[in-house]
Copies of this chain bind each other. A is one copy, B any other.
């Protein structure tokens, strides 16, 4: 809950219509790429005055960074299925859905492409992934508490193996994700592919 200020904006997180501004930002990124994204375009589509947007975000890069971490459509509900396998499957399924279902998929791929064009945006993409791993930590803390995972396990490594596989398969290989991709990927990372385990 952010507190309303006398000018109608909120103390943190952006103006009252931030959700509409973020949606318009991501829509325009997906449709026109980073080059075609403008604060004017976002203002027009969201029905929010351009000067209001600039008051909060001084550039389109800053606006896109805020949209990446603040947009509801990129939000992930943290799973709590009672097992690490179940939680990781739920998390990976969210990544696969995000990468394969428009408009989220267009946003994800466009944002990725734009990383190579804008150092400022690259910073926001970095923040997005840092924010995401922070939110995912409870999944691993609970698995340690349940005795499924060693206390010194590396959550980021596990997330990168799983989410990285989805990115590689979908964005670079441009191949369909098989029905059992998620369960097999998680099983492999948790139980190992080798039949001669050390």
User: How many residues from A make CB contacts under 8 Å with B?
Assistant: 53
A158 cross-chain contacts in B, Cβ below 8 A: 188, 193
A153 interface residue per 8 A CB criterion:
yes
A93 interface residue per 8 A CB criterion:
no
How close is A59's CB to chain B, nearest CB, in angstroms?
19
Whether A149 pairs with B113 at a CB distance below 8 angstroms is no
Partner of A113 from the list B114, B191, B198 (CB cut-off 8 Å) is B114
Whether B109 pairs with A116 at a CB distance below 8 angstroms is yes
Q: Which of A9-17, A46-54, A165-173 contacts B (4 or more CB under 8 A)?
A: A165-173
Whether A168 pairs with B163 at a CB distance below 8 angstroms is yes
Whether A148 pairs with B196 at a CB distance below 8 angstroms is yes
Work out how many copies of this chain go into the complex.
2
Whether B195 pairs with A192 at a CB distance below 8 angstroms is no
A135 interface residue per 8 A CB criterion:
no
Determine the distance from Cα of A148 to Cα of B194 in the docked complex, in whole angstroms.
Answer: 6
A157 cross-chain contacts in B, Cβ below 8 A: 165, 181, 184-185, 188
Pick 22 A–B contacts, CB within 8 A, sort by A: A33-B116, A33-B117, A84-B194, A109-B115, A125-B172, A126-B175, A129-B168, A149-B194, A149-B195, A157-B185, A157-B188, A160-B169, A161-B162, A161-B165, A163-B168, A164-B165, A164-B167, A167-B172, A188-B189, A189-B193, A191-B197, A191-B198
